[in-house]
Amino acid sequence: MLQGWIQIALTLLIVVVITPFFGRYMARVFLGQRTFLDSVLHPLDQVILSLSGVRIQEGMTGWQYARAMLYSNLTMLVFIYLIFMLQGGLPFNPTGLTAPSWDLALHTAISFVTNTNQQHYSGETTYSYFSQFAALGFMMFTSAATGIAVAIAFIRGLTGRPLGNFYVDLIQSITRILLPISIVGAIVLMAAGIPETLAGPAIIPTLENPGISQAIARGPVAHYEIIKELGENGGGFFGINSAHPFENPNGFTNLIELVAILSIPTSLIITYGIFANNLKQAWLVYSIPFAILVIFIIITAIGEYQGNSAVNALLGSEAPNLEGKEVRFGWAQSALFAVFTTASMCGAVNSLHDSFMPTGGFVTLSNMFLQIVFGGQGTGTAYLFAYLILAVFVTGLMVGRTPEFLGRKIEKREVVLASFLILLVHPIAILIPSAMTLAFPEQLAGISNPGFHGLSQVIYEYASAAANNGSGFEGLGDATLWWNLSTSFSLLAGRYIPIVSLLLLADSMSRKQPVPATAGTLRTDTGLFTGVTAGVILILGALTFFPVLALGPVAEAFQILKGIG
Partner 1 sequence: MFVVWLGTIVTLLVTINPNLFGTVQADVGQQRLLNGIITFILFFTVLFANFAEAVAEGRGKAQADALRSTRSDTIARKMLPDQSIQEVNSTELRRGDQVKVIAGDMIPADGEVIQGIGSVDESAITGESAPVLKQPGTDIASSVTGGTRLLSDELIVRISADPGQGFIDRMISLVEGAERTKTPNEIALTVLLAVLTQVFLIVVATTPSLSGYIADFLDNVLGSAAGNSLRAGTSIAILISLLVALIPTTIGGLLSAIGIAGMDRVAQFNVIATSGRAVEACGDVNTLVLDKTGTITLGNRLADEFIPVNGHDLQEVANAGWIASVFDETPEGRSIVRLAEKLGAKFDLNGQPAEGIEFSARTRMSGTDLDGKEYRKGAVDAIKGFVRSRGGQVPLTLDQAYERVSRLGGTPLAVCQGPDIYGVIYLKDMVKPGLRERFDQLRRMGVKTIMLTGDNRITASVIAKEAGVDDFIAEATPEDKIDVIRSEQAQGKLVAMTGDGTNDAPALAQANVGLAMNSGTQAAKEAANMVDLDSDPTKLIDLVTIGKQLLITRGALTTFSVANDIAKYFAIIPTIFAAAGIGALNIMGLKSAQSAIVSALIYNALIIPVLIPLALRGVQFRPLTADQLLQRNILIYGLGGIIAPFIAIKAIDLILPLS
Partner 2 sequence: MKLPLLNLSFPSLQTTTQALEEVLAIGSEWRRQKLPLYLFLALCLNLVIAPVVYATSNNEFSRSQAWALGLLGLGTAAISVYLFFVMFIPEKF
Chain residues that interact with partner 2, rule: CB under 8 A:
412, 416, 420, 440
C-alpha dist (Å) from residue 334 to 83, 242, 259, 320, 328: 34, 10, 14, 11, 10
Could you give the residue ranges of the DSSP H alpha helices within 319-378? 330-343, 358-370
Instruction: Note whether 310 binds partner 1 by CB under 8 A.
Output: no
Binder among 393, 460, 483, 496 for partner 1 (CB under 8 A) = 393
Q: Least distance from C-beta 466 to partner 1, angstroms?
A: 13
Instruction: Note whether 369 binds partner 1 by CB under 8 A.
Output: no
Which lies closer to partner 1 via its Cβ, residue 27 or residue 417?
417
In degrees to the nearest 10, what's the CA dihedral of 73, 74, 75, 80? Answer: 90
Residue 402 binds what, of partner 1, partner 2, none (CB under 5 to 8 Å, by partner type)?
partner 1
Long-range contacts of 285-288 (CB under 8 A, 24+ apart): 285/384, 285/385, 285/388, 285/530, 285/533, 286/19, 287/530, 288/372, 288/384, 288/530, 288/533, 288/534, 288/537
Binder among 428, 485, 497, 534 for partner 1 (CB under 8 A) = 428
Contacts of 368 (CB under 8 A, 6+ apart): 342, 345, 460, 463, 464, 466, 467, 469
Residue 401 binds what, of partner 2, partner 1, none (CB under 5 to 8 Å, by partner type)?
partner 1
The Cα 517–Cα 304 span in angstroms is: 49
Contact criterion met (CB below 8 Å) for 278 and 27: no
φ, ψ dihedrals at 108, nearest 5° = -60, -45
Provide DSSP, 508-536: HHHTSPPPPP-TTSPPSSSHHHHHHHHHH
Q: Least distance from C-beta 416 to partner 1, angstroms?
A: 5
- Binding characters for partner 1, 473-512, by CB under 8 A (x = yes): ----------------------------------------
Q: Residues in contact with partner 1, total (CB under 8 A)?
A: 68
State the angle between helix axes of 452-466 and 358-370 in degrees (0 to 180), rounded to the nearest 10: 30
The piece of 36-44, 244-252, 258-266, 450-458 that touches partner 1 (CB under 8 A) is 450-458
Instruction: Note whether 303 binds partner 1 by CB under 8 A.
Output: no
Which lies closer to partner 1 via its Cβ, residue 118 or residue 434?
434
Q: Least distance from C-beta 422 to partner 2, angstroms?
A: 14
Which lies closer to partner 2 via its Cβ, residue 246 or residue 393?
393
Which lies closer to partner 2 via its Cβ, residue 123 or residue 433?
433
The piece of 57-65, 180-188, 312-320, 415-423 that touches partner 1 (CB under 8 A) is 415-423
Which lies closer to partner 1 via its Cβ, residue 109 or residue 445?
445
Q: Least distance from C-beta 414 to partner 1, angstroms?
A: 8
Q: Report the DSSP beta bridge partners of residue 196.
A: 220
Which residues from 187-226 bind partner 1, rule CB under 8 A? none
Instruction: Note whether 518 binds partner 1 by CB under 8 A.
Output: yes
Find the length of the chain: 565
Q: Report the DSSP beta bridge partners of residue 109.
A: none
Q: Report the DSSP beta bridge partners of residue 408.
A: 405
Which lies closer to partner 2 via its Cβ, residue 55 or residue 412?
412
Instruction: With H, G, I as helix, E, B as strand and everything else as coil, classify residue 323.
Output: coil
Q: Least distance from C-beta 424 to partner 2, angstroms?
A: 8
Which lies closer to partner 1 via its Cβ, residue 314 or residue 519?
519
Contact criterion met (CB below 8 Å) for 393 and 410: yes
State the angle between helix axes of 222-230 and 251-276 in degrees (0 to 180), rounded to the nearest 10: 40
The Cα 296–Cα 299 span in angstroms is: 5
Binder among 88, 91, 450, 477 for partner 1 (CB under 8 A) = 450
Which lies closer to partner 1 via its Cβ, residue 225 or residue 404?
404
The Cα 427–Cα 547 span in angstroms is: 12
Instruction: Note whether 436 binds partner 1 by CB under 8 A.
Output: yes
Which lies closer to partner 2 via its Cβ, residue 54 or residue 416?
416
Q: Note the residues at the interface with partner 1 (CB under 8 A).
A: 390, 393-402, 407, 410-412, 414-416, 419-420, 423-424, 427-428, 431-432, 434-436, 438-439, 441, 450-452, 454-455, 513-516, 518-523, 526, 528-529, 532, 535, 539-540, 543-544, 546-548, 550-551, 554-555, 558-559, 562, 564-565
